[in-house]
Structure 1
Amino acid sequence: MPEPIPPIVLPPLRDPDREGHWLRDALHTWLDREFLPEAVNGDIADRASKIFVRQRLEGENDLGALVVAIVTEMQGFDFSRSFYGEFAIANAVSDLVLDSLGIDRCCGE
């Protein structure tokens, strides 16, 4: 039987403003690059980064739990002016964080 993938636990949050700005900017860039630059992309990136940082401030460091929190809370966001939805945003955040930590996200490695 295959071994379960161990959780990815982020280091403790040291500078919430810096982490929030980084994530907002990185996600906004990713959103604009993936399809078309849209005004709503800034709103999406801002909302997702706020959720992420708030969860981290509350002590959540497990990346899987952070992704679930983003999916759950972004369900209340109006995506009608966007190509994206809450799952795409949460997955993009996860990918950006993994990339920033130098963790290869291919093939469960």
Structure 2
Amino acid sequence: MSEPIPPITLPPSQNPQQEGEWLQKSLHRWLNEEFIPEAVNQEIARRAAQIYVRQRLEGENDLGSLVIAILTEMQAFDFSKSFYSEFAIANAVSDLLLDSLGIDRCCGQ
């Protein structure tokens, strides 16, 4: 039987606003590079970063919980002018955070 993937805990936030600014810029860049640049990408990145910062201010350090919060709250966002969905955004945030921590996200490693 395979082993469950252990949870990933982010270090406690020293500066949630700075983390949010980094996430917003990084996500916006990712959104523009993954498909084509769209005006709505800025708003998507801003909203995802807001959710992330609020969660971190509330003391959330578990990556899985952060991803679920972003997924859940982004369901209220109007993606009709975008190629993306709340699932793509939550997954992109997870990938960006894992990359920033130096964690290889390939193949469950």
TM over 0.5: yes
1:57 aligned onto 2:57: yes
Where does the alignment leave 5 or more consecutive residues of structure 1 unmatched?
Answer: none
SS of the residue corresponding to residue 64 of structure 1 reads: helix
Q: Displacement, 1:97?
A: 0.3
Where does the alignment leave 5 or more consecutive residues of structure 2 unmatched?
Answer: none
Q: Residue 95 of structure 2 aligns with which residue?
A: 95
Q: Displacement, 1:98?
A: 0.2
Q: Residue 40 of structure 2 aligns with which residue?
A: 40
State TM-score, norm by structure 1.
0.99
| Cα distance in structure 2, aligned partners of 1:81 and 1:73 | 18
Percent identity for Structure 1 against Structure 2:
73
| Cα distance in structure 2, aligned partners of 1:54 and 1:17 | 9
SS of the residue corresponding to residue 93 of structure 1 reads: helix
Name the count of aligned residue pairs: 109
Q: Displacement, 1:16?
A: 1.3
Q: Over aligned residue pairs, what C-alpha RMSD do you find?
A: 0.5
Deviations 1:40-72, CA, capped at 9 Å, x for gaps: 000000000010110011011100010000010
State TM-score, norm by structure 2.
0.99
1:78 aligned onto 2:87: no
- Residue type of the partner of 1:89? I
- Residue type of the partner of 1:9? T
| Cα distance in structure 1, aligned partners of 2:67 and 2:96 | 12
